[in-house]
Amino acid sequence: MTVTKPDWLRKRLPTGEITRKIEANLSQNRLHTICQEGCCPNQGECFAKGVAAFLVMGNVCTRNCKFCAVASGRPLPLDSGEPGRLADEIHRMGIRFAVVTSVTRDDLPDGGAKHFVKVIHKIRKKCSGVGIEVLIPDFKGLYPAIKSVVDAEPEVINHNVETVPRLYPEVRPQADYEQSLGVIGTVKKLDKSVIAKSGIMLGLGETMAEVVMVMADLIKAGCDILTIGQYLRPSENHYPVAEYVRPEKFNEYREIGIKMGFKDVASGPFVRSSYKAVDHYMRAGKHEKKT
């Protein structure tokens, strides 16, 4: 049964000179964004504002999650020049808060953690004063890999649990819910000052009780910021949408999350991990100062 997309999920994609220039520069410099590879509905809006969430370690993932638009298969070897080119592009764009994520690289002994560290160091060297958020894979739960990223001192470390544990075998067959929770927990145990962030999608067939349970698990792990968005099926070959969750329900989840103790909760149909990331970081920081 196909679920009809409601009016509140129809969004015009703005285009213009800034968007075309960003796309051209990314192509010329052999850089990728999760905005493009992940078919993000906010891509046009963010590009028009000169903002992008960069995707490192290539654009081919070693995993085949059923919700994700990023291509899966055998990735190319790491590009040693990518961290420098990325830092140059962030500097050229005048970005003040950079979001960097990656494909999952299970083919690498450390899952690509060293590459993340190089990226962070290059940005710090080239772009003084720029805030950095990294959205990392689970690194197969390897403690030294997680520690190396924490030690590089980005402002925010994000790792998404994506969905409720019951749906992992179907939606994220190569991932493990407890392992993903463990990433957040390890980050906060290593450095209580770093902002830990995670996200979940709605509309995959989860129940409200299951979502609230995940929220409670994340609070226990030490998660500071939570993002909740609507799952949108990238193609007929991906996991089907079970439900388009109404905006009022997203608001309800936000209220529940704030009462639970999250420093900030972004919850809405178009919310994605990196969408308006600097706003959520600033709100979480203000909350930290108050408490």
Report how far residue 28's alpha carbon sits from residue 18's, in angstroms, rounded to the nearest whole number. Answer: 15
- For 157, phi and psi rounded to 5 degrees? -120, 120
| CA–CA gap between residue 162 and residue 178 (Å, rounded) | 12
pLDDT tens digits, one per residue of 217-247? 999 999 999 999 999 888 888 999 999 999 9
CA distance 253 to 133: 24
Q: How confident is the model at residue 23 (pLDDT cuts 50, 70, 90)?
A: low
User: 277: closest CA among 25, 46, 87, 15?
Assistant: 46
The DSSP letter of residue 63 is S
pLDDT tens for 1-17 read 567 778 777 666 555 56
Beta bridge partners of 71: 60
DSSP letter at 239? Answer: P
In this prediction, residue 197 carries a pLDDT of 96
Q: Which residues contact 150 (CB under 8 A, 6 or more apart)?
A: 157, 186, 187, 190, 191, 194
For residue 285, give the amino acid letter: G
| Phi, psi angles (nearest 5°) of residue 151 | -65, -20
Q: Tell me, what amino acid is at 88?
A: D
**Residue 95: what residue type?**
I
The tens digit of pLDDT for each residue in 45-100 reads 555 555 567 889 988 999 999 988 788 899 999 999 999 999 998 888 888 888 89
Average pLDDT over residues 146-174: 97
Give me the pLDDT at residue 249, please: 97
How big is the chain, counted in residues?
291
Max CA distance (Å), the chain: 52
- Structure-model confidence comparison of residues 209 and 235, the more confident one: 209
Q: Determine contact, residues 61/103, Cβ cutoff 8 Å.
A: yes
CA distances from 6 to 202, 203, 224, 245 (A): 15, 13, 31, 9
DSSP bridge partners of 266: 227
Provide the whole-model pTM: 0.90
pLDDT of residue 38: 45
Amino acid at 92: R
- pLDDT for the residue 67: 86
Cα-to-chain-centroid distance, residue 28 = 24
What is residue 270's predicted lDDT score, i.e. its pLDDT? 86
- The enclosing H or E element of 198 equals strand 195-202
| Average model confidence (pLDDT) across the chain | 87
Question: Which residue has 């980050």 as its token pair?
Answer: 187
Strand partners, 227: 199, 266
What domains can be seen in the chain, in order of their start residue? 11-290 (3.20.20.70)
The pLDDT, as a whole number, for residue 291 is: 45
Q: Would you place residue 41 in the very low, low, confident or very high pLDDT band (cuts 50, 70, 90)?
A: low
Torsion region of 286: left, alpha or beta (phi above 0 gives left; psi -120 to 50 gives alpha): alpha
Which pair of structure tokens corresponds to residue 131?
A: 């805030």
Helices vs. strands in the chain: H and E counts, helices first: 11, 10
Least trusted range by pLDDT, from 11-25, 115-129, 194-208, 234-248:
11-25
- How are beta strands 32-33 and 53-56 bridged, if at all? antiparallel
Q: Residue 37: pLDDT band by 50, 70, 90 thresholds? A: very low
Tell me which amino acid residue 84 is. Answer: G
Spatial contact of 168 and 177, defined as CB atoms under 8 Å apart: yes
